[in-house]
Chains A and B, each alone.
Chain A
Amino acid sequence: MPSCWRRSLRQRSGFIKASGLTRRLLRANSHLQIRFAGALLGPVVALLLISAVQAQQRALPLNVLRSGIEFSGSDVRSMQSDDLANPGFLWVERGEKLWNDSTGGSSCASCHGDASASMRGVVARYPAFDAASGTVLDLEARINDCRVRRQKQNPLPRESDDLLGLTAYLALQSRGMALAARIDGPAGAAFDRGRAFYSQRHGQMNLSCAQCHDQNWGKRLYAETLSQGHGNAFPAYKLEWQTLGSLQRRIRACLFGIRAEMPPPGASELTDIELFLAWRAQGLPLEAPGVRR
């Protein structure tokens, strides 16, 4: 639709203008620093400018970020906070068994050892760029990459109980840690694609992710309160699904809801948006395995 194209072009050119402005501001700042060399003012101005730049780039500044659990009812909260009531731990136990299972020749533990030590903090940094394949991999793709290249085993299908078990078990090792995906360097291109996807309108309802989760979070959509759309609880047990599911499944469900085309599980578009979401939720604690309605 031409009107939609025009709108998205305008949005994009707005973004380019904004980033041009930040460049100019930074350049201006470097002059200031030279002029006030040795004075305290220079670094103070620099800090103020950098925080202004960040606020400009982030639709949701870091200080307003709220995890999806804050939009959930008390029943969902108590399910998530109690590890025995949380059904996600059925998968965690399966993942722990798989981690130590060496029937295929070598187990994950043969190389990585005790997951509580070697995997602490790892999932909080995912999706991450993988130099060997030259692409950004999400946790599911990383596990399968390891299985195929190192363990010489078949990749596990997405949303299979085995893969969900491993992702849940690994995510648990970083529970409570702040999300900190890297978007600089070679991951930058995927991040930019993810950001573009997020702000682009999709599907028959002609909605972008940003229209709900940046501009209208906290308001009601039918019986639900719109959350900010963070993925920090995934893989999460969705009561609606009656099972544990990945962040990709959740994103696909959102696309289904706005009647948009859904990229197949594992598609690079979904990994790109996962990376963008991880950056967007930067600093929120990992809650996986979470519980959501």
Chain B
Amino acid sequence: MADSRINVPAATRRDEAIEVRISIRHAMETGYRTDEGGKPVPRNVIRSFACRYNGDPVFAVRVSSGIAANPYFRFFVTARESGTLDFEWIDDAGARGTAQAAVKVV
């Protein structure tokens, strides 16, 4: 399954705010549900999500079970220079997801 889908403008001017959008494939199991046999399904949600711009943190969220499955984040970053956005998220099971997107300042 595609782990994530990212949308960043192909090119931007310096010091302009760019819109970053990312949707992540995750079941976000709340821990409140039971399976068909009545056994509780263990909680497994994305615990933290962070974005770094050329290594500097620009966006971070502590996520909880109140967030729906396949979370979708949308935020703005000031494009200082060309480089990369690194996304990273970790769920309760310890699984770590990463993604990258390029920022091009013209």
Contacts and interface: CB of A to CB of B under 8 A. Distances in A.
Question: Are chains A and B native binding partners rather than an unrelated pairing?
Answer: yes
Contacts of B7: 84
B32 to A, nearest CB: 13
Nearest to A162: B1
Top 10 nearest A-B pairs (CB, nearest first) are: A93-B2, A242-B69, A87-B70, A94-B1, A90-B25, A84-B7, A90-B2, A84-B21, A94-B2, A161-B1
B51 to A, nearest CB: 16
Q: How large is the interface on A (under 10, 10 to 19, 20 to 34, 35 or more residues)?
A: 10 to 19
A242 B28 contact: yes
Given A90-B25, A242-B69, A242-B70, A84 B5 contact: yes
Most buried by A among B5, B21, B25: B5
A161 B69 CA distance: 14
Main secondary structure of the interface of A (DSSP, over half): helix
Interface of B: 1-2, 5, 7, 21, 23, 25, 27-28, 68-70, 72
Interface in A176-230: none
Contacts of B2: 90, 93-94, 97
A84 B27 CA distance: 18
Contacts of B28: 242
B1 A87 contact: no
28 contacts: A84-B5, A84-B7, A84-B21, A85-B23, A85-B72, A87-B23, A87-B69, A87-B70, A87-B72, A89-B5, A90-B1, A90-B2, A90-B5, A90-B23, A90-B70, A91-B1, A93-B1, A94-B1, A94-B2, A97-B2, A161-B1, A165-B1, A239-B68, A242-B27, A242-B28, A242-B68, A242-B70, A243-B69
Nearest to A97: B2
Nearest to B71: A87
Contacts of B1: 90-91, 93-94, 161, 165
A93 B5 contact: yes
A20 B71 CA distance: 56
A91 B21 CA distance: 18
Contacts of B69: 87, 242-243
Interface in A53-104: 84-85, 87, 89-91, 93-94, 97
